[in-house]
Structure 1
């Protein structure tokens, strides 16, 4: 398929299982390569990732669930727990981080752009997330992007030995596709684009 077809195929898949045709090692290599090839401002390569499979993946979602248990009213927690369990049913999770030491270093080196580097860092992680998500989709691995940061950042950092300078930005949960994505609706081009010649 063409690149446009690949990104058209990439969708949020919420019904995930823990079986994939690719091995953990093959998935890890694919994830690393997609991140490595993702562009970043000033070639900063500020994106970092923690790749969790199987029991470590389940442990992550258990940490998030138990942290949310302390925050969500008891009468509303059941749906929260069900959602966390649906993520845990997948094969793995990529925790996307941005290294704040890199951002600070660039701010010091290029003071004129200092205010832009945190923004550009967010661009870098978004590109890396999209690249990994599309690469997994190409291999028929379903995924959905989640944002449970900073809910459990501190405990996750302890459990998975994450450096203090790494800031968690998103979590991409992935696995076998157990049910197709819903139809996607698009707003009109007139509301979204302007073209001039």
Structure 2
């Protein structure tokens, strides 16, 4: 949409009303994700983030797995509401992006740099967050709506088994996306004076 960086950041929002369509091609979606995976920074250039794109039947399968896992733990009287939320906000979308961190990379860095051992898991989460934000913002700029979900660790083992993923990959977040059918909800901002300080 030819927005500058600040405009793209400002327009990135959470969309719960999406449909199974996309204003851009699958190849363009892949290019957005690949660009972020290549260029988003990571501590010690660890490049620990792993991203999986699920489209078509794989997108549907992921949300079937999630519903199955939730049905086993959510009380019956509450499950219908949970099911309705997933069906109307996530499953109904065009695709889902799964964000992982490769814990083998993190553990190797802990061994190589023991002084920073306790920090590497924290930096790994920060790396994943930057990937999530970059991809989310670029999807928004391309006309797609997305939200960030966290059904892990409940679904971790089933996801690894279904797509034969490396067991060292730790699932961090899930991002369903599609063409928005409604605008995002309202957003309030706390006073900047409480969130940003300058000392000159």
Band the TM-score falls in, shorter-chain normalisation: over 0.9
The number of equivalent residue pairs is: 197
Task: Indicate if the aligned counterparts of 1:41 and 1:120 stay in contact, CA closer than 8 A.
Answer: yes
What residue in structure 2 maps to residue 32 of structure 1?
Answer: 34
Give the drift of 1:104: 0.5
Task: Indicate if the aligned counterparts of 1:47 and 1:125 stay in contact, CA closer than 8 A.
Answer: yes
TM-score by length of 1: 0.98
Find the aligned partners of 1:34 and 1:190 in 2 and give their Cα distance. 32
1:121 to 2:124 alignment: yes
Q: Which moved more, 1:181-190 or 1:99-108?
A: 181-190
In the TM superposition, 1:40-189 aligns within 5 A as 40-86=42-88, 87-189=90-192
Ranges of 4+ aligned residues in structure 1 off by more than 2 Å: none
Give the drift of 1:121: 0.1
Give the drift of 1:73: 0.5
What residue in structure 2 maps to residue 17 of structure 1?
Answer: 19
Find the aligned partners of 2:30 and 2:55 in 1 and give their Cα distance. 9
Q: Secondary structure at the match of 2:147?
A: strand
* 1:5-24 deviation digits (Å, cap 9, x = unpaired): 11100000010111112122
Task: Indicate if the aligned counterparts of 1:62 and 1:84 stay in contact, CA closer than 8 A.
Answer: no
In the alignment, structure 1 segments of 5+ residues that lack a partner are none
**Cα RMSD after superposing both structures:** 0.8
TM-score by length of 2: 0.96
In the alignment, structure 2 segments of 5+ residues that lack a partner are none
Find the aligned partners of 2:44 and 2:147 in 1 and give their Cα distance. 29
Give the drift of 1:25: 2.1
Give the drift of 1:95: 0.4
